[in-house]
């Protein structure tokens, strides 16, 4: 598809008036040569230069040089000398004026003029030296966006006639088409920038760097020097490349785009989708080869204008999932189907007056201008080239290039084999038929993670039932076929495997039997016998409780839904031994803070290991331990006993360590100051005592002493600091509350002796 405004070239007859001014808005050019044959002193060559400029009067463009100065240098690119200098008059121009057809919207005004300079020169044939024909001029269009300071960057247009080209009296290639002047942003661009060669030599295309020549000096001195606007004569090679704004742009990527604008090295077709508005300087090189020997390189330097115009006539097609749009056009493929329907989605139909489908069907032309969306019968598997042309030869035209590959079909198939009654692998045999070698096989066996890429795989199913097996066979053309076949897989297990594989434990033995046999599921008839006379049916993994000690044999029988049978017996699989019985006694039976040491006696049965825990205060592994409790209260005593086979039993008893209080009162005291029995004071074990009160009364009922401190004694004086009480008998009363709230009261006589 050519997504640009096709501009008609109008020939302006006659010569324009001479002007001596700098060509400020040069936008491109190229130099080519023809070998006219032998002449006196060498070979006669016709040199042709075409140069392009922006002639929009609003931009202040200048006229072409008349005459133009050319230099011819002899030697190599880096070592040469001037052979001659020529002044060539202006030959005429083609003015290119775009109109604005209805099928293109938002087209800006662009004016481009082409000037042609032609001259002949005789060059001596050299086996080692090239001839460089050079023209230089400044400057380029100041609105170019892909190089630095474009208004100060001049241009060199040159061609090299190599020694090989001289030997063959070679003609250089010439470009066939004028470049597009307007390119629409975000529309696919396909432009044939190819060249023709009269000698039929091989041509190779590439993007390359335009070259700098001349400079922005506009007045003398300097105007005609190498840095001036019009070098007279043009300066010698080598020539510097224009300064691309990097990394966005480069000689090989002069315009960007998405996909990037590229040139096909074989066809010279420029493709891609420009995605930025602006003016871009682009260099296109054509290398010419004869029998692998390079003869010449011609270069066209041109300005591409990308705008926001909208091309309304677009050749668009749809060919289903196989359709791919490439930089050379549309690509379609079909596997095993030679009738191909192509959907025409071209727009805008109101501007499409003619359309035509063209294909070369192995030498037979196919032309169809009646079916908007045709079904084409391709004769055999092969590659076919075609086009969809819209308004061919008219102003609003577009073309879609089409490549169609018709590939032979693939017929996927397979067979399988397995023992239907004894579980084992299923062997799959590939039976796929294809004319093209199969490059890959993709098997899916109908179960999670069950896949293979082998040609003839084997697979062992762990899950019974019907499994849909799928094979995808793909050949080297990426043609593929898919086949699905169901497999009924219901054999009996080859081996019956259960867990535990052995068991020794104490009664009651609660055992879960894990059936690891494969393949089985709930559709299988499974019978368990546990060696006790009990059985369970149709449970894959049962749980059974052995009550009595003993040795037990377990058997399992499995029958598949199609009657395949397997069984096995596991002799003496289960051994159940008696469980131990934990028991103990202790002495003394009454434990208190006064007597906190307890002797424990083990009374357990069938135990060979003991573990005692005395509340939070200690542990022991002795059979009959002795333990002293450091505190009072209800103590939890735990005994865990272990059978020789590892079975355990546990017993817990609670022992109350009673907090006891004792209190003893004397019956006489002698307060004579000799330090012996000078005070009246009771004694005892008083931990936890509360609310203590002691009073002493004389025989007349008078209170002579009172205290709430159990450690305070009566000194024999009235209220401790009064006069000395007379000898005699006194009455005491003592009361207090114990640690568990019990009430204690004591009454008696205290004899004061002098």
| DSSP line for 263-275 | E-TTT-EEEE---
Residues shown for the chain: 754
Cα(128)–Cα(430) distance, rounded to whole angstroms? 66
Domain 668-752 has CATH 3.40.1350: no
Cα(559)–Cα(565) distance, rounded to whole angstroms? 4
Token representation of residue 429: 């045999």
pLDDT value of residue 103: 67
Cα(113)–Cα(122) distance, rounded to whole angstroms? 30
Cα(232)–Cα(70) distance, rounded to whole angstroms? 8
Class of domain 584-658: mainly beta
pLDDT value of residue 18: 31
Residue with tokens 């080869």: 289
Which of these, 95, 89, 160, 94, lies nearest to 118 by C-alpha position?
Answer: 89
Distances (CA, A) of 493 to 418, 526, 569: 13, 12, 14
| E strand segments, 308-350 | 310-311, 317-318, 324-326, 329-335, 339-341, 343-344
CB neighbours (10 Å) of residue 319?
Answer: 18
The reply to whether domains 312-407 and 584-658 share a CATH topology is yes
pTM for this entry: 0.51
Termini Cα distance of the chain? 143
Provide the H-helix boundaries in 72-177: 163-167
Calculate the CA 111 to chain-centre distance: 50
498-577: CATH topology is Immunoglobulin-like (2.60.40)
The DSSP code for 641 is E
Cα(22)–Cα(227) distance, rounded to whole angstroms? 13
- Residues sharing a CB contact under 8 Å with residue 80, sequence separation 6 or more, in sequence order: 73, 74, 129, 130, 132, 236, 237
- Residue 323 burial class via C-beta count within 10 angstroms: exposed 0-12, middle 13-18, buried 19 and up: middle
Cα(404)–Cα(361) distance, rounded to whole angstroms? 11
CA dihedral (358, 361, 365, 370) in degrees, to 10, reads -50
Residue with tokens 């230089």: 136
Token representation of residue 114: 């082409």
- Residues sharing a CB contact under 8 Å with residue 554, sequence separation 6 or more, in sequence order: 498, 513, 528, 529, 530, 531, 569, 570, 573, 574
Calculate the CA 40 to chain-centre distance: 72
CB neighbours (10 Å) of residue 535?
Answer: 13
Write down the domain spans for the chain: 4-307, 312-407, 410-489, 498-577, 584-658, 668-752
Token representation of residue 250: 């480069």
Class of domain 312-407: mainly beta
Token representation of residue 426: 């299923």
CATH numeric code, 410-489: 2.60.40.10
Q: What is the CA radius of gyration of the chain?
A: 57
Pair 754, 678: CB distance under 8 Å: no
pLDDT value of residue 59: 54
Calculate the CA 186 to chain-centre distance: 29
Pair 736, 709: CB distance under 8 Å: no
pLDDT profile of the chain (754 residues), mean per 10? 32 27 68 95 95 70 82 96 93 58 68 88 96 93 90 94 95 89 82 91 96 90 91 95 95 94 93 92 96 94 87 83 76 91 90 93 93 94 93 80 94 95 95 95 95 96 95 94 96 94 86 94 95 94 93 96 95 90 94 93 93 96 96 94 88 93 88 87 85 91 91 87 87 91 89 86
Pair 696, 746: CB distance under 8 Å: no
Q: What is the 3-state secondary structure (H, E, C) of 110-122?
A: CCEEEEEEEEEEE
CB neighbours (10 Å) of residue 667?
Answer: 11
HSE (CB half, 13 Å, CA atoms) of 135? 30
């Amino acid at each position: 598809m050519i997504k640009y405004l096709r501009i008609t070239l109008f020939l302006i007859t006659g010569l324009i008036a001479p002007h001596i001014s700098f060509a400020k808005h040069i936008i491109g050019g190229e130099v080519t040569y023809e070998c006219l044959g032998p002449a006196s002193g060498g070979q006669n060559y016709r040199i042709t230069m075409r140069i392009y400029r922006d002639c929009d009067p609003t931009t202040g463009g200048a006229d072409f040089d008349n005459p133009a100065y050319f230099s011819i240098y002899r030697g190599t690119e880096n070592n040469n000398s001037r052979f001659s200098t020529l002044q060539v008059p202006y030959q005429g121009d083609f003015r290119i004026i775009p109109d604005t057809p209805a099928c293109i919207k938002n087209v800006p005004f662009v004016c481009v003029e082409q000037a042609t300079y032609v001259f002949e020169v005789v060059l001596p044939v050299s086996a080692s030296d090239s001839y460089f024909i050079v023209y230089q001029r400044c400057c380029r269009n100041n609105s170019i966006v892909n190089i630095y300071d474009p208004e100060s960057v001049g241009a060199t247009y040159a061609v090299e006639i190599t020694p090989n080209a001289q030997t063959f009296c070679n003609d250089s290639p010439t470009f066939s088409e004028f470049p597009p002047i307007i390119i629409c942003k975000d529309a696919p661009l396909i432009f044939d920038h190819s060249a023709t060669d009269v000698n039929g030599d091989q041509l190779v295309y590439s993007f390359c760097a335009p070259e700098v020549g001349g400079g922005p000096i506009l007045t003398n001195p300097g105007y005609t020097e190498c840095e001036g606007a019009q070098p007279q004569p043009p300066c010698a090679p080598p020539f510097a490349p224009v300064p691309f704004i990097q990394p966005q742009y480069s000689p090989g990527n002069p315009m960007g785009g998405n996909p990037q604008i590229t040139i096909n090295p074989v066809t010279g077709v420029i493709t891609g989708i420009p995605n930025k508005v602006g003016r871009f300087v682009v260099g296109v090189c054509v290398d010419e080869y004869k029998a692998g020997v390079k003869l010449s390189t011609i270069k066209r330097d041109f300005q591409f204008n990308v705008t926001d115009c909208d091309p309304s006539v677009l050749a668009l097609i749809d060919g289903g999932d196989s359709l791919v749009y490439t930089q050379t056009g549309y690509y379609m493929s079909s596997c095993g189907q030679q009738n191909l329907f192509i959907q025409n989605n071209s727009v805008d139909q109101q501007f499409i007056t003619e359309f035509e489908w063209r294909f070369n069907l192995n030498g037979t032309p196919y032309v169809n201008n009646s079916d908007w969306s045709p079904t084409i019968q391709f004769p055999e598997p092969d590659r076919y080239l075609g086009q969809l042309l819209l308004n061919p030869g008219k102003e609003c035209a577009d073309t879609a290039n089409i490549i169609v590959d018709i590939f032979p079909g693939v017929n996927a198939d397979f067979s399988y084999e397995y023992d239907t009654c004894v579980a084992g692998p299923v062997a799959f045999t590939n039976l796929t038929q294809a004319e093209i070698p199969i490059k890959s096989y993709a098997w899916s066996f109908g179960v999670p993670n069950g896949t293979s890429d082998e040609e003839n795989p084997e697979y062992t199913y762990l899950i019974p039932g019907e499994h849909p097996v799928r094979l995808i066979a793909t050949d080297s053309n990426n043609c593929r076929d898919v086949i699905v076949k169901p497999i009924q897989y219901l054999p009996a297990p080859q081996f019956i495997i259960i867990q535990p594989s052995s068991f020794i434990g104490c009664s009651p033995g609660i055992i879960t039997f894990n059936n690891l046999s494969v393949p089985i599921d709930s559709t299988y008839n499974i019978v368990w016998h546990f060696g006790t006379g009990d059985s369970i049916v149709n449970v894959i993994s049962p749980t059974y409780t052995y009550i009595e000690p003993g040795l037990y044999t377990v058997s399992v029988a499995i029958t598949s839904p199609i009657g395949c049978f397997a069984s096995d017996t596991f002799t003496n699989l289960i051994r159940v031994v008696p469980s131990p019985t934990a028991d103990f006694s202790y002495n003394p039976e009454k434990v208190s803070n006064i007597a906190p040491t307890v002797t424990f006696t083990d009374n357990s049965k069938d135990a060979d290991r003991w573990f005692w825990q005395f509340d939070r205060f200690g542990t022991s592994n002795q059979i009959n331990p002795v333990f002293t409790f450091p505190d009072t209260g209800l103590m939890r005593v735990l005994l865990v006993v272990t059978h020789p086979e590892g079975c355990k039993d546990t017993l817990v008893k609670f022992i109350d360590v009673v907090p006891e209080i004792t209190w003893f009162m004397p019956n006489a005291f002698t307060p004579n100051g000799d330090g012996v029995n000078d005070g009246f004071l009771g004694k005892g074990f008083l931990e936890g005592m509360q609310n203590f009160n002691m009073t002493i009364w004389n025989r007349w009922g008078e209170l002579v002493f009172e205290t709430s401190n159990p450690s305070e004694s009566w000194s024999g004086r009235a209220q401790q600091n009064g006069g000395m009480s007379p000898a005699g008998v006194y009455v005491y009363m003592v009361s207090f509350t114990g640690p568990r709230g019990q009430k204690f009261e004591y009454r008696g006589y205290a004899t004061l002796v002098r």
